[in-house]
């Protein structure tokens, strides 16, 4: 048990919901689809759960540059 506690971070089921929502967002899944999959009634709750990674933010900037330059 001490080994597991020292190697594994504390993980809660709630953390998995954040990961799921973030992966959907980063994969380009539509906001409404993500909201439905998460079971949220409001889009603001879905936005609270989903987060962009630095990789996905860079990809967005690269796309914008490709489209405008």
pLDDT digits (tens, 9 = 90+) for 52-69: 889 989 998 999 999 998
Provide the percentage of residues in the chain whose pLDDT is more than 90: 59
**pLDDT at residue 48, as a whole number:** 92
How far is 16 from 9, CA to CA, in rounded Å?
13
User: pTM for this one?
Assistant: 0.69
Tokens read off for 53: 């990674």
Q: Is residue 2's pLDDT more than 70?
A: no
Tokens read off for 17: 């919901």
């Amino acid at each position: 048990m001490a080994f597991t506690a020292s190697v594994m971070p504390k993980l809660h089921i709630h953390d998995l919901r954040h990961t799921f929502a973030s992966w959907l967002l980063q994969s380009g899944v539509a906001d409404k689809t993500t909201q439905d999959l998460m079971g949220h009634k409001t889009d603001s709750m879905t936005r609270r759960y989903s987060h962009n990674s630095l990789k996905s933010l860079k990809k967005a900037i690269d796309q914008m540059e490709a489209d405008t330059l």
